[in-house]
Each structure stands twice: as structure tokens, then as C-alpha cells.
Structure 1
């Protein structure tokens, strides 16, 4: 009893765990869809991931800004001989170093949804500081320079710096705008104070480049967010598939266990029922045949005949259940020998002839002559043909006809076909009658019912012989059942080899 209780308890636990896993998967899928359907397209959950990507990018490209600053300073000093650019380079490198300190500190800590905004503001502040350094560079002047060489140099340097900043801060929202807004403002102020065409043109070009890069970084950031969303959704779906697979494996394992338990139960119960049933059949037969003396009451004799007939019917059902249990458990072994399919079919017709005559059913046979023997289990094939013939007699109406054919298949095998003109089977019920314990509507309404195991046993026996079973039926026209055995089961007899005497070769004469 304790084992049974623990088993049922285990089942309850597994069922609850399945429910929890289903709820978890549903929540994950809903969260993913919410992220994909937000107004901005980027949920707060992805802000943290993008911030981590920005930190990794800033650490990897830490030398990019210093290299640009040093190149700008060296080129500027070479062109203008202005030592003020050296001071500006020191200022820009110092601001950039402060930004790297903030980045490394953020890298050493865990970025959570709660502190993500705070770290984002710190990174924006570092970019604003770097932008102020570039704004200082934008207001630099050169008294010794002539023409627009210095303005062209500053414009080119600012465009390079703008591009480097846009690439380095792609995952940081509005970083490019905050970083270079002071620079554009400084250029605009210089253009207003000194209405030089070169200064005005440089301010316009940098402003246009800033607007373009802000738009492009926004689109690229949005695309990155969609990629993250797709990756997250894929991970959630993979998790869901893994959970579903584990649940399916668990369900399949339990189904196999239940099926095995069912087969063991049927085999055990069938064996236990058959033992007392044999005694009932024996005693009822002795009483009905009046071996130990006549029965004075004819009603009692009729009762003993009914007992024997009912017991025989019950024994047949139990034997079918035992056969199906052995087949499902893989314990049904074939005892193969040389058999004749035509002889088996002829014997089975003789066994059902009495019942057919009682219903005035004519059984016609068409057997091809000269068919060789088969290598098969005679008892199993006899059971196949007898089951099909019994079904045909059972469902054929009074005065009907049954046609039994045996012959060759197109592939060199042999077949036996049993066709009746009974009520037929609806097309949608054919899979039902071919399943274990399945019965069609005609069989359910019939007065002579069975267990619905005959056709499944036929299919299983033919499958053990590598054969095939075909059931054709039309409503109100009849049914045809065809049992096919493959060509490799056919034993072809080889003609004897005739002995021939050695013939001496004739000598050819040459003229």
C-alpha cells in the first residue's frame, strides 16, 4: 500500500511542477511581447543590456579618442604654430581620462534596472564634458593664419571627432546630441560675432552633420534594440520548447509505464480467469452430453448448453486479450515452418461453414493453383484467416455471400482476400475498428458483439511476418479484408539439376 501511495503522490507533484512551468513560460512570453510592443520599441529591460554594451565598447575603444586628440593637436601645432592647442589637448585628455574612470568603475559593479538610469546620467555627463573640450577647440583662433586654412582644419577635425563620438556612444541614448550641442553652439556664436563666410559655413556643416548622426544613431540604436528583442524572444521560445520536450518525455514515459502495467494486468487477470473457466467448460460439457446419466429436466439440459456456449465465447475473448498483451509486450514469438496459404484458407472455411449455413450464407472460394508454400507461423496465419472469416460471417446478413480469394501479389508475394456483401463500414470509422478495443457503429448495434481485438491482432501478426493488412469498405456495399505476405516468405522450389555425360570434343580436320 505504501508503494501505491508514494506513486500517486509523485504523480501529483509532477502535475504541479508542470503547472508552475507552464505559468513561468507564459509569463516569459508575455514579457517578451510587451517589450516588443512598447511605444519606443525599447523597454527598460533592454536599457540595462545596452548600457552594458556601451561599457564594453568604451573599454575596448579607450585609445580612439586620445589618438584623435593627439593627431588634431600635432597637426594644428604644425600648421599654426599655436601652443595653445597643446593646452587644449591636455584638457581634452584629462576629461577623457575622467570618463574612463567612470566607465571602469561601472564595469566593476553590477548594472541593475534600479541603478541603470544613474549610470546612464554619469556617462552622459562625461560626454558633455568631452563636448565642452571640443567646444573650446571650436573657439580657437589663429592670428598668424591667412585665408580659410585654419577654419578648414578645425572643421575637418570636428567632423572626425563627431564621427568617432557617434561610433563610440551608439548604445547611449542622446549621447551624440549632448556631447556636440556645446560645440555647435560655440561655432554659432563665433559665426555671429565674426560673420566670416568660412566660420558660417563650418558651423552649418557641423550642425548638419550632427543632425544626420543623431538620426542615424537613433535608427541604429533602435535596430540594436530589435535585435536584442528577437534574441530574447528566441531564448524564451527555446526555453519553452525545452520545457515542452521535458513534459512530453515525462508524459511518454508515464504512458509507457501505464501501458506496460495494463498489459501485465490483462495477462494476469486473463490467466486467473481462464483457470476456473476451464472447469466450468468441462463440467458444462459433461452435463450437456449426459456422460454421467440423463437429465430428466430438458430445461436444465438447455441451460447447460447455454453455459457451455457462453463459457466458450468468454474463453475466446480471454485468449484474444492474452494474444494482444503478448504482442504489446513483445513476447509474441513466431514458430515458423513450411505452410500452404491455400490449405489454411480452405480449413478455416470449413470451420465457419456451419455458422454460415445457419444464416444461409454462401461462401465461394477462388484459389490460384500451383502456389508454393510459405515460411510462416501456421497457427498465427490460421488465426488471421479465421478472424477475418468470422467477422465476415458475423456481419453478413441472412442469405448473403462471402468470396474468399487467394493468389499472387504484384510484388511476388501471396495474399488472401475475404469479401462480404454486408452493411460495410463508414470511411471515417475504419481507423477506429483497426485500433485496439475499437468498434464501429455497426458492430455496436450488432447482437453478436466482441472485444474489438480481432483486427488489431490480425495487423500485429501480419506485421510480425513483415506483411500488410488492407481493409476496404463501402457503406451498404460490403467489406473486403486483404492479408498480404511478402515475397521473401514464399518458398520457390527449384527444379532438379539433370546429370549430363561429358562429351568429348570433336577433332576438326583440316584439309
Structure 2
């Protein structure tokens, strides 16, 4: 018959955390691939919309600066052109700027789900071409006026407009390239009427600068896409965290309901189980001790002994489960009083001496007899020491040694240390040993079976006292359990008042009349 492991049990209850993360990542990848296939630029639809939205915001934000730039250029061109021509050029540029801004404002007012992205991108490209063409018509100034100053002015304006256009349209690369094309053609056209080498070089540098602006625009586009991806991943993580929190709240609610049901079940079943157990223990003890006469067959006495021992084991198991459930539910009430820790430890050692002597084990005690009393629950402290001693005797081989230490801690508290020479516990199995019903593999092979509740109960009782619990163990080197009680629970004895001889209490000062 195959062994059922904890991993198989977890898989039966649902997917592991790694499998759930892998499924979520696969779902995101499939959704992203589907959206890229339906996109015209190879990105997800949400990215398409965000890029167009940023483009529209840039255009609306640049509406007034571009109008001021156009007015300034028109005013400066009036030095070479008639005012009517400058006004006509300014009117055309302002109309194009206004039309592009109106399209951008209309795009932002629409609902994202109702927008057709392909026509919206097409309108953006056409708007950029028309606006750049209107700006490029300024090159007519250079053809209609003689003089290098006019050509230099036009070249300067074309370079500035190319930089502004590529930066504003960076989130739509096709619109940036389309908007730069009329400006570059207008700049190259200045070379037809230029004779000097210096002017040709200047025009070449202007065209190179415009191409550099286009490259810079592509880098800005990549940065924007990366920022959008980062924001989308962050939103996805936040969504997963919210879903995980909702699942966690639901799981906690179910766990609280299950814990309440468990407490009710234990409270009900404890009485239902103890009643027949008392009868079993009582009658089996009568039969074992042959109170009403000897048995006809000696085997009956052995059976009675086995029944009594099994009933005692079951009763102890029920008591341990109830203690652990009360501790976990926070319903274990401490009956605190002054306790002599060394006396409790000695009493527990005396109770367990018979079991140790049966296995030829030796106790080695290092107890400080001058320890003051502790303010603690004596029954709980006794149960802590008995559970640790019971484990030490259980897992120590015949002829082994058990060392018991009781003394002061460095912080002024008191501690109990019990160390055995048993098989030890591998480091990776310590969490299993500390869990409810958990047992180490070496302990299972080399010792008698137990319920696996001793150490969890010990830790719970120590935590109720505000103390500390530490388990140190290595394979083939034994195990040491250290329980500490805080200094706040140590009761300091008051010094004795001497009234004989010279050690008299100081006289009270006389009260003023």
C-alpha cells in the first residue's frame, strides 16, 4: 500500500501556491497574446488606448504654446513679407492647430470601450501631416525674398517645429514620422536656391537634427510603453493582492467557523467519551485485581490489564486534545500562585524515576537550591516538566543519561533544561515535531508511539506564562529542551527586619507641634 504524503494531501485539497502562480501567469500571457493579435501596432488594446490618450493630452496641452509660437513667427515674417501673406499663413496654421486640438478633445470625451482605435490613430496621423504642411508653407518666404537672413530664419523655424512635432507625437510613432516628413522636405528644398557650401552644410545639419529628433521620439515611445507595462503589472499585482486578501478573509472565516465547531464537538464528546471510559477503567481494574475471586484462566487477567492500559491511554489522549484545544482557543485559565520551580522539577523526576529505572537510565541533576519562588500555575508547570521528561525517557535508549538543569537566566528569570542522549531530530523535522500530532522519523523508528501533542502543549503553556521555549537537537547527539520564565514572574523575597541589638529600626521624626 502506497504511503500518503503531506504534498499529496495538499494537492488533493487544491493547487499549491506555485501552481496557482503559474496558472495566473499563463492566463495573463494568453490574454496579452490575444489582445496583441487584435491590435494594429502589436500591443495590447489597453496600451493602444493609453498611447493615444497621452498623445491627445500632449496636443491639448500644447495648444496655447503653439498658437503663441505661430503668432511670433508670423510677426517676424512680416519683416520680409507683406502683412496679408503673413496673416494668411498664420490663419492656416491656427486652423490646423485648432482642428488637431478639437480632435484630441473629442477623443478624450469618448468612453474607452466605445472608441475604434484604428480610425482614431488614422485621424491623428492625418492631423499631424496637415499641421506640419501648414508650418512648411513658410518655406515660400525663402523663395519669394532674396537674402540669406530670410532663409536662415525659415530654417530655424523648421527645426524648432520639427522638434516640437516629434516630441508631442512620440506616443504615436507613425504620426511623428508623418508629421516630420513635410518639414524635412521643406528643409531640403532650401538647398535648391542655395549656392554657398556653408549654407548647404547648414541645411544638412538641420535635416540631421530633424532625423535625430525622430530617433529621440522613438526612444521616448519605448520609455512610455515600458512605463505602461510597469503600471499594468503593478495593477495586476494589486488585483491579485486584493483577490488573495478576499480569499484569505474567506479562509479565515471558514477556519474560525471550523475551530468553533471543533470546540463544540470536543466539549460535547469529552463528556460522551469519559462516561463509558470510566466504566471501562473501573470494571477492568476490578477484573485485573480479581476483586471477586481468581479468574478461571490466567489469560483473562492479561486481557483485563490490556483493556485497562488501553483505556488509560485513550483517556490521556482525550485530556491532551482538550488541553490543546483550550490553549489554542485562548480559554485555558491559569490558576497562579507561588511555586518553587526546583521542588516541582524534583517532584516530577521522582514520578518518572520508575520508568527511567525500567530502561536503566540515569538522571543527572544540576539544580540551584537558592532560587526564589515563581508566580505561576503549578499544575501547568508540572505538566510542562512531565511532558518534557516523558519524551526524554521515551526517546533515550536503555542505559542513556538525562541531564536536568534548573537555574537563573541572564535576564533575571528562571529556566529548566532537560537534555537526553537519544537519537536526536534532524533540523528540517523540528517544525514537524512542534506541530500538532507531529513526530520525527527517527523518533518513530526508535521509540514507542505517542499522540504527538506533548511539545505543542508545552509551548502553549509556556507562552501563556510569557516564557520562552527552545528546542535544540541534532541527529545522534540527543535533544535539549529549554523552558524559560520571565523575570517578571520571579518573586523577590523581602529582607528580614532586625529589631534586637544595634540593628534597630530608625526612630520616626517628631511631629511638629
TM-score range, shorter chain: 0.7 to 0.9
1:373 equivalent in alignment to 2:373: yes
Q: Check conservation: 1:139, 1:187, Cα contact below 8 A.
A: no
Counterparts in 2 of 1:425-464, with a 5 A limit?
A: 425-445=425-445, 448-464=448-464
Show the counterpart of 1:396: 396
1:206 is displaced (CA, Å) by: 4.2
Q: Which whole-Å CA distance do the structure 2 matches of 1:317 and 1:324 have between them?
A: 11
Tell me the matched-pair count: 489
1:165 equivalent in alignment to 2:199: no
1:315 is displaced (CA, Å) by: 1.6
Counterparts in 2 of 1:86-235, with a 5 A limit?
A: 86-110=87-111, 115-140=116-141, 147-186=147-186, 188-189=188-189, 191-192=191-192, 195=195, 200=200, 203-235=203-235
Could you give the per-residue CA deviations for residues 418-453 of structure 1, whole angstroms, max 9, x where no partner exists?
Answer: 333344444443333222111223442356322111
1:100 is displaced (CA, Å) by: 4.0
1:158 is displaced (CA, Å) by: 2.9
Q: Which whole-Å CA distance do the structure 2 matches of 1:178 and 1:269 have between them?
A: 82
1:50 is displaced (CA, Å) by: 1.7
Show the counterpart of 1:10: none
Q: Which whole-Å CA distance do the structure 1 matches of 2:27 and 2:508 have between them?
A: 96
Q: Secondary structure at the match of 1:498?
A: coil
Q: Which whole-Å CA distance do the structure 1 matches of 2:58 and 2:281 have between them?
A: 90
1:334 is displaced (CA, Å) by: 0.9
Show the counterpart of 1:64: 65
Q: Secondary structure at the match of 2:345?
A: helix
Q: Which whole-Å CA distance do the structure 2 matches of 1:116 and 1:504 have between them?
A: 98
1:278 equivalent in alignment to 2:253: no
1:466 equivalent in alignment to 2:466: yes
Gaps of 5+ in 2: 1-13
Q: Check conservation: 1:359, 1:398, Cα contact below 8 A.
A: yes
Q: Which whole-Å CA distance do the structure 2 matches of 1:327 and 1:400 have between them?
A: 33
1:327 is displaced (CA, Å) by: 1.1
Q: Which whole-Å CA distance do the structure 1 matches of 2:194 and 2:408 have between them?
A: 108
Further displaced range: 304-313 or 326-335: 304-313
1:483 is displaced (CA, Å) by: 2.9
1:295 is displaced (CA, Å) by: 4.2
Q: Which whole-Å CA distance do the structure 2 matches of 1:440 and 1:280 have between them?
A: 32
Counterparts in 2 of 1:15-94, with a 5 A limit?
A: 26-28=26-28, 31=31, 45-81=46-82, 83-94=84-95
Q: Which whole-Å CA distance do the structure 2 matches of 1:130 and 1:74 have between them?
A: 19
Q: Which whole-Å CA distance do the structure 1 matches of 2:75 and 2:387 have between them?
A: 102
Show the counterpart of 2:5: none
Gaps of 5+ in 1: 1-13, 506-511
Q: Check conservation: 1:321, 1:453, Cα contact below 8 A.
A: yes
Q: Which whole-Å CA distance do the structure 2 matches of 1:40 and 1:258 have between them?
A: 53
Question: Relative to 1, partners in 2 of residues 1:234 and 1:501: Cα closer, same or farther, differing over 3 Å?
Answer: closer
Q: Which whole-Å CA distance do the structure 1 matches of 2:111 and 2:312 have between them?
A: 80
1:101 is displaced (CA, Å) by: 4.2
Q: Secondary structure at the match of 1:50?
A: helix
Show the counterpart of 2:488: 488
1:258 equivalent in alignment to 2:258: yes
1:277 is displaced (CA, Å) by: 0.6
Q: Check conservation: 1:70, 1:89, Cα contact below 8 A.
A: yes
Show the counterpart of 2:385: 385
Question: Relative to 1, partners in 2 of residues 1:392 and 1:109: Cα closer, same or farther, differing over 3 Å?
Answer: closer
Q: Check conservation: 2:63, 2:98, Cα contact below 8 A.
A: no
Q: Which whole-Å CA distance do the structure 2 matches of 1:275 and 1:363 have between them?
A: 38
Q: Check conservation: 1:127, 1:179, Cα contact below 8 A.
A: yes
1:112 is displaced (CA, Å) by: 5.8
Q: Secondary structure at the match of 2:137?
A: helix
Q: Secondary structure at the match of 2:279?
A: helix
Q: Which whole-Å CA distance do the structure 2 matches of 1:368 and 1:158 have between them?
A: 95
Q: Secondary structure at the match of 1:140?
A: helix
Structure of greater relative contact order (alpha carbons < 8 Å, 6+ residues apart) = 1
Question: Relative to 1, partners in 2 of residues 1:272 and 1:45: Cα closer, same or farther, differing over 3 Å?
Answer: same
Q: Check conservation: 1:151, 1:202, Cα contact below 8 A.
A: no
Q: Which whole-Å CA distance do the structure 2 matches of 1:132 and 1:409 have between them?
A: 87
Show the counterpart of 1:338: 338
1:281 is displaced (CA, Å) by: 1.3
Show the counterpart of 1:347: 347
Give the TM-score taking structure 1 as reference length: 0.82
Show the counterpart of 1:3: none
Give the TM-score taking structure 2 as reference length: 0.81
1:318 equivalent in alignment to 2:318: yes
